[in-house]
Amino acid sequence: MEQRTRDFFANYEAANSAADAERIGSLYADVFMFGGPNGVKSVKKEDFLKVIPKMKAYFGSLGLRKTELQSVEASEISSRYWLAKVGWRMTIAHDDCLDTVATYILERSEDQQLAIVFQIDHQDLATMVKERLADQAP
């Protein structure tokens, strides 16, 4: 289970690096929940696919250059659902790095495919990047 979950998020990392919105979208359920510092909302995959390029451009404009998978801790909730706590390292301007964590609930379909049904970001990435860059300003 741990290796399968790690492979899933390695695929996510590769899709994100390639800015491949369709591939990123294929890792999410048709409708999923997203939770962050501002609360929880339900998201349709079709809407998410439209937003991915805008999000990539926005974070790029803030200085985000690379996202790398750092760690995956997975546990089975039931025969159908897995919980994954995932560590990411974000490289921003001046090769500075920010470490972030997100928790995901993955659903395993009858054909054994995994899909994200709930994502909880533990921090507000945009705020973190802006604060770090402000600290670096002369």
Question: Sorting pLDDT into bands at 50, 70 and 90, what band is 131?
Answer: confident
Q: Is 90 helix (H, G, I), strand (E, B) or coil?
A: strand
Least confident segment among 31-40, 75-84, 126-135: 126-135
Cα distances from 113 to residues 7, 40, 75, 93, in angstroms, run 12, 25, 16, 36
Rounded Cα distance between 60 and 103, Å, is 23
Predicted model pTM? 0.90
Tens of pLDDT, residues 7-57: 999 999 999 999 899 999 999 999 999 999 889 999 999 999 999 999 889
Please identify, in words, the CATH class of the domain defined by 2-136.
Answer: alpha beta
